[in-house]
Structures are given as structure tokens and as C-alpha cells.
Amino acid sequence: MYSLRFPNSSSSLLELDSDPMCHFGNYFSDPDRCLYPEIDYLIEASDAHVYSDWINNRKSGRFHRPLSLDLYVPNSRSSCFYCHLNQFIPTDHSTEKYSNYLLREIRLQGQLFKGDSKVEQIYFGGGSPAFLNDSQLNTLTQEIKRNFNLVEGGNFCVEIDAGQLIDCSMYALNEMGFNCAIVGVQDFDQQARHSKQCIQSEEANIQIICNIRRAGFKSVRVELSYGLPGQNLDKFACTLDKIIAANPNQVKFLNYQHLIERFKPIRNNIFTGLPATETRFEMTLLAISRLTEAGYSHIGMNLFARYDDPLAVAQRQGRLHYGLRGFSIYPDCDHVAFGVSGIGCIGPTLHQNHCDLLQYYDKLEQNILPILRGLELNADDLLRRSIMYALICHLVISYDSVEAFFPIDFKQYFVTELTDLQAYAEAGLVTLDNEEIAVTSKGQLFINDICRIFDKYLRKHH
């Protein structure tokens, strides 16, 4: 055992296991931070007109990258205390209405991208896409195929919630073209479920995983929440063992974030019993051990994949990529966002759709893309993002490699950052020399914190 003090923190000492198996992705901060700059720094002056200009730049040949289509559906849980997404209680009318406006947006975007690159990836999630019925989902997928050129054998992923699947079977989803699925799991223990609206039975989740396999999907990922109210190490271990027994291709851990303050009508119904920091850390160590023993590789950022999974293969071959939707085997794509609050990127720009359903609908009624805000990244933003993503993917950044693409002297440009990283080096999280920054196995626990050293926006606000 050894003691480690959090760099730049007044937190008390935490005993960490020195076992080399300690490879778990950043536990203490948000494990899904895929966006730089973060969404709060987007500005409303960057609207649909600016977005259209960048698509024209793309079509004129200024840059040309594959496309990824990201479709977002509001979360249908009425009182889910961990979800950051838009939420509403679905009815036949509301789901049909939302589906119809998605169709409008697909057509508008399709007109802008007519004759453009092939689509290598589709991600259908963000909330609860499976509450749409078979007919609605099929209509949406057919509209996508009419308006975009889909690559044969691309990665077409859909989120599945066993507790909210309506009347759309896994076979039907596979027939529509989906070949990858994500299944969200909170906990199989009744006492650790943080919302009556989020109840998931062990039988339903395991059955969904089996159905996905039987339907012909090439990959299934289980996203397992940890640190839930009422959850302890034994309960977590029980759920984890059952997930491993189901043999998913990937397992991702989501650090539970308690957001009850967002729900004013039920603010008094406050849950207690959140596991202590030490207990959460023990959960990560247990997960590392069990998953590694079961044949999973640690990809990073709380994501594990079976040894033969394409992500694990790409990691071993040094061709792993990281972007808006996390790890990928595809080079950086332009992401076209559909749906309320959807986030996309075209070239060096970021954009987000309206987060309010009524405003989202109103823009589409006017045949205007419902883009609320955006940002054009400057050279410094692109430089810093490339460094962060390289550290996340490969755990090392060579000064020469950066200088080959950007006209800077690395050590001079980042003199402040390198000084701040000394605390991490002293803690054994990184190694620094005259040629590179390398993240240690223990440092993977704090990869987000290490990356934040290069975040100029956070630096300005501290």
C-alpha cells in the first residue's frame, strides 16, 4: 500500500493499492468528458447560418471527413435523479410528435449534405430511444437511408433500456440496420435503486443482452452505474459478476451523479446512503480485478472491452481514436446532431440544438435547423484538444510529434502546464522528461485531472 494526496487538492490522504492491476479510468471526475471546450463555452451568436456556412466549406473541399449521425431522444424517466438529459413522460401523442419533428430535421440536414461523404457511424441514444415504437423507429431509419449514404458494415448503435422498451424487438432493430447496442444498468439489488421510475430487474437486463445476441448484433455494451444510494461493495460485486456472466463485448462504468436538486417538486424526497469515496474506490479496484480476470482489456475512461473487441485490437495496434462520442476505431468524424439538445461538430466547430422542446419544434416549423449555439475552435483550442485526446488514447505525448503539426516550441508554449504537472509527477501519476509526457498506470485513475491541466478555459476561471 502507499499514500497518495490528490494533486492541487486539500483532500485527505487516500490509501491506494499499488498492485499493477490498478488501471481503472478516472474515477474521481466525470468519466465521459468527451467535449473540449465544454458545452458552457458555446455562444448563441453561432447559429444555423454559421453552421450552414461550415457545411458549404466542407463541400467545397476545405476539409472532408466521414460523417457520424447522432440522434438524441429525451429521457422518458419522470423522476430519474442521475440523468443530465431532457426528461418528459412519453405518451402516444408526444412520441409521435417528437418522431415527426425528427423526420423534418433529418430532411433539412439531408438537403445540406446531399452528395456528401458516406456515413460510417450512427448513434441513436441520448435518452430513451427505445420508447419509440417499431413503426416510428423504422420510419426514422428509412428516412436516414433516403437522405444519407450509409457505409456497408458501419457502426450503427442504439441505446436500449430494458425497463422502457415498448414494442420494438431486437430483431426489428437489427432489421432496420442497427448492429451495436448499449444497455444501461443501475443495479440488480432492489435497495440500491435510486428511483421507482428506474427499476430494472435482473431478468429483464440479462434477457435483453441474450436477445441482442440472438438477433445478430455484432456488439453489446453494458453501462453499469456505481456509487448509487444504498449500494455497497457486496451488492456491486453481485451485479458485476452477473454482468460478466452475460459476456458483453464491452463494459463501461458510470460514476453516479446525484442530481435531485434539479427536481423541485420532489426536492424533499432526498435519498441518503451514498457510498463513501473510499467505498467507491474499492468498487473500481474490484471491477479492475474481476474484468481483467474475465479477459477484458482496459481501454480507458472507465471502459473495458473483450480482448478480441475492435476497440481492444485498435488499442494494441496504436490506431485508437477519441472524439465527440468517446473511443472509436474510426478516424475523427464530423458529427451531425439531430434532436433536442443534440451536440455535433463540423470541421473545427461545435454546435448544440435547442434544449427546450417547444423552441426545438418552433424552429423546425419554420424550416430552420434548431441550432441554439456553437463555437469555432481557434488554433490554440485544436492544439490543446489534440494533446488531451492523445493522452486519453495513448497515455503519452511526444513534444516532437506536437511540434510536427503545430508551429510551437512545446516546452516554451506549455511552460505553465509543465510546471503544474510536476505535482502529478511527484505523486507518481505522470513521468516528465525533455521528450515527452507519459501517464503511469496509476495516473490513468486521474486522466481527466491530468488533461484539465491543459484546459485554458478552466484555468481562466480559477
pLDDT for 24: 30
DSSP label of 133: -
Q: Are strands 343-346 and 371-376 parallel, antiparallel or unpaired?
A: unpaired
End-to-end CA distance of the chain: give it in Å, rounded: 33
Mean pLDDT of 106-113: 95
Position 251 pLDDT exceeds 90: yes
Position 27 pLDDT exceeds 80: no
Q: What DSSP string runs through 164-222?
A: T--S--HHHHHHHT--EEEEEE--SSGGG---GGG---HHHHHHHHHHHHHTT-SEEEE
Q: CB atoms < 10 A from the CB of 34, how many?
A: 16
Mean pLDDT of 180-199: 64
Position 4 pLDDT exceeds 50: no
pTM of the model as a whole:
0.85
Counting residues of the chain whose pLDDT is more than 90, the rounded percentage is 57
Q: Amino acid identity of 38? A: E
pLDDT for 364: 98
Q: Which residues pair with 351 in a beta bridge?
A: 344, 374
Position 16 pLDDT exceeds 70: no
Kindly report which listed range (34-43, 77-86, 243-252) carries the lowest average pLDDT score.
77-86
Please say whether the beta carbons of 266 and 5 come within 8 A.
Answer: no
Distance CA 21, CA 292 (A): 8
pLDDT for 331: 83
pLDDT for 358: 95
Q: Amino acid identity of 429? A: L
Residue 145's nearest CA partner among 103, 184, 179, 112 is 103
Please say whether the beta carbons of 194 and 82 come within 8 A.
Answer: yes
pLDDT for 259: 53
Please say whether the beta carbons of 338 and 106 come within 8 A.
Answer: yes
Position 189 pLDDT exceeds 80: no
Position 442 pLDDT exceeds 80: yes
Distance CA 406, CA 386 (A): 10
Confidence of residue 150 (pLDDT cuts 50, 70, 90): very high
Counting residues of the chain whose pLDDT is more than 70, the rounded percentage is 79
Whether residue 37 has a cis bond before it, omega within 30° of 0: yes
Mean pLDDT of 385-411: 96
pLDDT for 122: 96
Q: State the maximum Cα–Cα separation within the chain, in Å, rounded to a whole number.
A: 63
The kind and range of the H/E element at 398 are strand 396-398
Q: What DSSP string runs through 18-66?
A: --TT------SS-TT---SS-GGG-BTTS-HHHHHHHHHHHHTTS----
Measured at the CA of 345, the angle between CA 316 and CA 404, to 5 degrees, comes to 55
Query: Which class for 377: exposed (0-12), middle (13-18), buried (19 or more C-beta within 10 A)?
Result: middle
Position 437 pLDDT exceeds 90: yes
Confidence of residue 288 (pLDDT cuts 50, 70, 90): confident
Of 3-12, 163-172, 329-338, 370-379, which one has max mean pLDDT? Answer: 370-379
C-alpha cell recorded at residue 326 = 468517446
Q: Amino acid identity of 83? A: C
Higher model confidence: residue 377 or residue 446? 377
pLDDT for 207: 85
Distance CA 183, CA 133 (A): 17
Query: Which class for 367: exposed (0-12), middle (13-18), buried (19 or more C-beta within 10 A)?
Result: exposed
DSSP label of 81: S
Q: Which residues pair with 298 in a beta bridge?
A: 304
353 — phi, psi (to 5°)? Answer: -75, 165
H helix runs in 247-276, sequence order: none
Measured at the CA of 423, the angle between CA 396 and CA 300, to 5 degrees, comes to 35
